[in-house]
Amino acid sequence: MSNQTEPLSQRISRLRDHFLQRFGRKAEVIVRAPGRVNLIGEHTDYNDGFVLPIAIDRNVLLAAARRDDHRVHLVAVDLDDEDEFDVTAPTRSETKAWANYHRGVAAMLQQRGIDLTGADVMFSSNVPIGAGLSSSAAVEVAAAFGFLAISDQEMDRAQMALACQQAEHEYAGVPCGIMDQFISALGRADSALLLDCRDLSYRHVPVPESARIVVADTGVRRALAGSEYRVRRSQCEEAVRLLQSALPGIRALRDVSEAELQQYEHLLPDPIRRRARHVVTENQRVLDTVAALEAGDLRRAGELLIASHHSLRDDYEVSSTELDAMVEAALAAPGCFGSRLTGAGFGGCTVSLVANEAVKDFVRSLAQTYRERTGRDATVYVTRAADGVGLVA
Ligand code: ADP
Ligand code: MG
């Protein structure tokens, strides 16, 4: 991982130098693809609902130059490792898991009828791995954009995100949703992205300049996250099945309004009732947050983040002692509009909306309170909404 506070221009020139040294020629393109954090809309994606992520100012940088022999020579600077494959027939690597993102992306682009040329490729990132900021989507999207640029091919960005998602499914074996690749491909500076996970329609939503987004890692990961995630998914499916007796037109919890849920919640046994209530109210909170941001009302947006956390804690039951402590520490710190767990839960990170002028004091206070309450050190990332993937040179 490259130094996380190093300026972008310096990272780019280091990558250029490294590329020249390793391949004996200059890079032809440099691509930047960001990680992401979800502001609100948790566990809504697999219910055909809404999410509201931002692309963050941490990213993968990828340098590439064309080769005429259909080979890809790939260097992962941060891992000090290399890989090589035939771009026309990429297989999964059994030994280098990290290379499967590039191999998978190359395969999925070609499955969509895009001819790729060979390339020398080198990449490095300051998106922390496994911290909840989706380093993997940033790698995939950088790879896709790099392959397309070097091959003189164009592709719709939403389609590119879908190819990256499929690469993660089939080559990395991770059954992820579409949000991470989508925001890394389509993010916009100073904007969040409202994404409808049913039809992938989207809209950019301004995030007021006076706000910063702070991600705080609890440092705790729970092993049961995967199995509990599957339980939640099946509980949502069960809720839909039970509600269909009264609401035959629904396909997913996305189709159920708050009023309908109140009317028919007697059809649902606990805890299915509370799971459904989280999803239905969370979808509405995403739309309400969009309205608040568009009105420049950070206080209202913050209240909705807090309501989301309470719903995830009490109704969806995916919080943890550490996540609750981190949210409480944030709410007690100066300049905080709101805070909640982000990601699937059971550990991982919180996201807070913070007044720009208070952000230094906020971070100091957050880390100190969290340490007092849990005896643990928080890792804190201050960020703002950045552009999606693009060429930097
Ligand atoms: P995250 O939540 O950060 O996306 P994942 O487990 O989904 O975590 O993806 C992390 C994997 O992505 C790493 O194990 C590695 O294979 C790949 N990856 C991410 N960043 C880098 C990097 N800087 N260099 C090489 N591989 C990377
Ligand atoms: Mg990932």
What is the best residue among 1, 123, 135 to mutate for testing ligand 1's pocket, by most ligand atoms within 8 Å of CB?
135
The pTM for the full model equals 0.96
The verdict on residue 1 lying in a domain is no
CATH number for the domain harbouring residue 15? 3.30.230.10
Nearest CA to ligand 1 atom 6: 130
**What residues have CB less than 8 Å from 223, skipping those under 6 apart?**
none
- The pLDDT of residue 393: 67
The verdict on residue 15 lying in a domain is yes
The verdict on residue 2 lying in a domain is no
What is the best residue among 14, 15, 139, 221 to mutate for testing ligand 1's pocket, by most ligand atoms within 8 Å of CB?
139
Helices in the chain by DSSP H: which ranges? 8-23, 100-111, 135-150, 157-171, 179-186, 225-243, 258-264, 272-294, 298-314, 321-332, 359-374
Nearest CA to ligand 1 atom 12: 136
Question: Rounded to 5, what percent of the chain is helix, strand, coil?
Answer: 45, 25, 30
Nearest CA to ligand 1 atom 4: 134
Domain match, 196 and 228 both: no
As for how many domains the chain has, the answer is 2
- The pLDDT of residue 3: 52
Domain enclosing residue 318, as ranges: 211-383
Give ligand 1 pocket residues (Cβ under 6 A): 76, 78-79, 97-98, 101, 125, 129-130, 132, 134-136, 139, 174
* Atom of ligand 1 at shortest range from CA of 129: 3
Tell me the pairing of strands 81-86 and 50-51.
unpaired
Domain match, 271 and 186 both: no
Burial of residue 66 (CB within 10 Å: 0-12, 13-18, 19+) is middle
**What is the C-alpha radius of gyration for the chain, rounded to an integer number of angstroms?**
21
Domain match, 16 and 81 both: yes
Domain match, 54 and 176 both: yes
Domain match, 183 and 310 both: no
Q: Which of 158, 190, 147 is nearest to 28 (CA)?
A: 147
Question: How many Å apart are CA 181 and CA 160, to the nearest integer?
Answer: 8
Q: Is 235 helix (H, G, I), strand (E, B) or coil?
A: helix
Is 324 an annotated catalytic residue? no
Question: How many Å apart are CA 226 and CA 306, to the nearest integer?
Answer: 25
Q: Among all ligands shown, which has an atom nearest to the Cα of 132?
A: 1
Domain match, 142 and 244 both: no
CATH number for the domain harbouring residue 247? 3.30.70.890
Nearest CA to ligand 1 atom 8: 130
Q: Along the 393 residues of the chain, how does pLDDT read in single tens digits? A: 445 678 999 999 999 999 999 999 999 999 999 999 999 999 999 999 999 999 999 999 999 999 999 999 999 999 999 999 999 999 999 999 999 999 999 999 999 999 999 999 999 999 999 888 999 999 999 999 999 999 999 999 999 999 999 999 999 999 899 999 999 999 999 999 999 999 999 999 999 999 999 999 999 987 777 899 999 999 999 999 999 999 999 999 999 999 999 999 999 999 999 999 999 999 999 999 999 999 999 999 999 999 999 999 999 999 999 999 999 999 999 999 999 999 999 999 999 999 999 999 999 999 999 999 999 999 999 999 999 999 996
- The pLDDT of residue 5: 75
Question: How many Å apart are CA 249 and CA 199, to the nearest integer?
Answer: 17
* Atom of ligand 1 at shortest range from CA of 1: 23
Q: Among all ligands shown, which has an atom nearest to the Cα of 129?
A: 1
Q: Among all ligands shown, which has an atom nearest to the Cα of 74?
A: 1
Domain match, 184 and 305 both: no
Domain match, 294 and 334 both: yes
Domain match, 167 and 243 both: no
Domain match, 48 and 159 both: yes
